[in-house]
Amino acid sequence: MAEINIQRKKSSPSPWILVVLAALALALGAYFFLRPDPSDEPTPPAPAALPAAPGDTLVAAPAPGAAAEESMAAADLEQAPVTPEELARQAAGNAAAPDYARRGLQMLTATLVDLADRSDFRDPAIREQRDNLTSATTSLNEATPRLRPGFVAAAGLIRAMQQKGYPALETTANELQQLAAQLSGRNSTPAEQQQNQQFLSKAAAAVRTLSEPPVL
């Protein structure tokens, strides 16, 4: 009897495995083809560099108190005219104060310069004395101001104003010129302080008279 060769039929793979493999292949292909190219990404802008400060704009920090001193000096340069009463109070103040003579001369200068612009004082002689005073007091804001030239110039301006209708002020104007010639320009010793106070007190009294209308 002939033998019949019976072979088992090989099972075919599951169709789901093929579907999964096809999906993976598509996903990988899409990833490689559709992913963005790093070279196509915009480069972030570089941070703007701060402009370098020019070498000539670098300044040293001011010393403590320097700003206050500069402000006070600027205010002194722009000192507004004061009233005769304020000038008299300054003259009657503490003559031993370090700033007494300088401050008094500064106030006197501002008041006299303002008076010199009055219509009845617009005279060549008064204008010349006024210019002498402003020139003599330009150093008042320095560390060691020269006071004597300012005192002498102030007395000269008062004398020129006195001659424009103030006969009763002649004696005081002459005394001021004599006192100014005797001043040392300092305010250190008691004698110097007394002389400065005497001059400023007489000058304040003269300014009070000059502030009134002249005798015609």
> Residues 91, 93, 99, CA angle at the centre, nearest 5°?
85
More confident residue, 25 or 12: 25
Q: Quick one: pLDDT band at residue 194, thresholds 50, 70, 90?
A: very high
Is residue 114 within 8 Å of 126, Cβ to Cβ?
A: no
Alpha-carbon span 178 to 172, nearest angstrom: 10
pLDDT in tens, 50-74: 544 444 444 344 444 444 444 444 4
Q: Is residue 157 within a helix (H) or strand (E), and if so which, with residue range?
A: helix 148-162
Q: What pTM was computed for the model?
A: 0.64
pLDDT of residue 19: 72
Rounded to an integer, the average pLDDT of 136-158 is 93
Is residue 180 within 8 Å of 151, Cβ to Cβ?
A: yes
pLDDT in tens, 72-115: 444 444 456 689 999 999 999 999 999 999 999 999 999 999 99
How do the domains of the chain map onto residue ranges?
Answer: 80-210
pLDDT in tens, 35-54: 655 555 555 555 555 544 44
pLDDT of residue 22: 76
Tell me the DSSP string of 25-77.
HHHHHHHHHHSPPGGGSPPPPPPPPPPPPPGGG--PPPPTTHHHHHHHHHHHH
DSSP 8-class letter at 120: G
